[in-house]
Amino acid sequence: MLFLKIFSDKDKELEIIQDDYTSPIPDELHWDAWAGNDEGVTGDELLEFVDQKLFPTLREIDISTGNKRAYIVHEVFNGNHNYVKSGTILRQVLNKLNEIDFNNSTDKHIFGDVYESFLKELQSAGKSGELYTPRAIVQFLTDMINPQLGEKYLTPLVAQAAF
């Protein structure tokens, strides 16, 4: 869900700066269409949409055109599944993500703090706290940030940096 929110916010930016930009994600699957309304679908209906429509469609997104963003979506969802079993909890997660604008630098910093807290909770729950970031997400973030030679960036997505 986090990936889709970040992708959506980047889509909004690209629509402003590129006259001919078209998102590779179908309109009905754009974040704002199904997750953007805090009073939107929830419960079993939300789970059914995510499990039966959203994830399967994004797994099969057309990559034959060579669209790099379509390839990223395909790679992120290929082999991934929704493990949230409560549509009510999923709605709460979506609503929290709706509070973040990933095109706003302040929100990006707040997200970093939240992510760090999340890792600490994982560790205190007896888990290793190590998370694998799929290569497609790493590439997406690199494309989004567009680092230049000599610049340094800190990403909270590095988890514990266990390579």
Element (H, E) at 23: none
Is there a domain that residue 81 lies in? yes
Is there a domain that residue 79 lies in? yes
Query: The domain that contains 67 carries what CATH number?
Result: 1.20.1260
Q: Percent of the chain having pLDDT more than 70?
A: 77
pLDDT value for 163: 41
Rounded alpha-carbon distances, angstroms, from residue 136 to 70, 128, 147 = 11, 23, 17
If one counts the domains in the chain, the total is 1
- From 28, 7, 159, select the one nearest 74 (Cα to Cα): 7
Confidence of residue 103 (pLDDT cuts 50, 70, 90): confident
